[in-house]
Amino acid sequence: MKRRTLFRSAAALIGLGALGAGANSASVRGNRYYQGPVSDHFDGTRFFNPDGAQPKGFSDLMRWRFGPKPAEWPESVVGEIAKPADRVKDLTVTMVGHATMLIQMQSLNILTDPVWSRRVSPLSFAGPRRVVAPGIPFEALPKIDLVLLSHNHYDHLDLETLTRLKAHDPLVITPLGNDTLLSGTGLRVQTMDWGDEASFGDLGVHCLPSHHWSARGMGDRSMALWSAFMLTGAAGPVHFIGDTGFDKGRPYAGLSDRFGAPRVALLPIGAYEPRWFMKDQHQNPEEAVQGFRISAARFAIGHHWGTIQLTNEARDAPLRALEASLHKHEISPDRFRALAPGEVWAIPA
């Protein structure tokens, strides 16, 4: 079976979990992940995006599945391999792949949405797989102190990788409800709601809204929360979004007023086609650049592209679109870089 056919079969198979549509099952009673008070983004059973768009349904998933064919990706790509320092006093980011990055700041080592597995799927033998090896071999990781886990889709929450990280004994900070999924890993977990803040050594960790959703299967849509994060400290604010729709710019509004201009923003730029299906939950490069401008960030790293084919666009399409958008807005490409696995960027002061 050709890779394109495999991709489309896998998309239909796990679309209810990792890719972009969920069944709002009336048979599900209660929430298997989280119990808590009703809020402006939790109705007592499910989380939601206030005044935002809900995820597409099963019929839309099938329309995508049987619509235009996705672009052909290569079977494999040879990437760079980085060997990170044990500690960094200032601020350096190394791309591992997809939404997994090593942030080294203030002598702390922080991983975002760590995935080292070959596939991002509930099945070991089917589903989207990486075409380029992790930019840091797992065995070459420095001691990991903190993990930021944005939401529970399979391409962001990988239980196999998280279980391997237990040897590092990091603290995992994640939005409400995801601790239930991690209960078997043995990891230390701290959950946060939107607007919460915590301290980790000299680092501040702030949980912020993003416009997305969550699911691991057919009956648990939006039962665990999703979020962005802001890290604050002597190295300057670092903004990380794992996944988001642009949502009229609301995930970016007011950030510079609250935290100061982010020194660097780590923003998704891939998995955005077909636009009619992905727009509400996955921003495209143009929207990422608009968000970069709204937040007044000094630098940005584009992630969530080129490692795992989840949607229809070509592997290098986000790079071309980002280049065009930066030119359109007269932003130097030295300020917003789409890092490939193994690339390292010491963020300018």
Q: Model confidence at 112, in pLDDT bands (50, 70, 90)? A: very high
Q: 6 pLDDT exceeds 60?
A: no
Q: Distance (Å, rounded) from C-alpha 58 to C-alpha 68?
A: 17
Nearest to 245 by CA among 273, 278, 198: 278
Average pLDDT over the chain reads 92
What average pLDDT does range 239-246 have in this prediction? Answer: 98
Q: Distance (Å, rounded) from C-alpha 347 to C-alpha 349?
A: 6
Instruction: Give 22-52 pLDDT, tens digit per residue.
Output: 444 433 468 999 999 999 999 999 999 999 9
Calculate the dihedral angle through the C-alpha atoms of 270, 272, 278, 284, rounding to the nearest 10 degrees. Answer: 90
Continuous segment of H or E residues that includes residue 60: helix 58-65
Which two structure tokens, joined as six digits, stand for 206?
């702030």
Q: Over the range 237-276, which residues count as b (16 or more CB within 10 Å of their CB) and which as e?
A: bbbbbbbbbbbeebbbeebeeebeebbbbbbbbbbbbeee
Which domains, and CATH codes, for the chain? 3-23+38-346 (3.60.15.10)
Say what percent of the chain tops pLDDT 90: 87
DSSP string, 206-223: EEE--S----SSSS-TT-
Instruction: Give 298-347 pLDDT, tens digit per residue.
Output: 999 999 999 999 999 999 999 999 999 999 999 999 999 999 999 999 99
How much of the chain is helix, strand and coil, in % rounded to 5? 20, 20, 55
Does the CA dihedral 323-95-267-49 come out positive or negative? Answer: positive
CA atoms within a 13 Å half-sphere pointing along the CA-CB vector of 105: 30
Instruction: Give 167-188 pLDDT, tens digit per residue.
Output: 999 999 999 999 999 999 999 9
Q: 132 pLDDT exceeds 90?
A: yes
Whether 136 contacts 340, CB under 8 Å: no
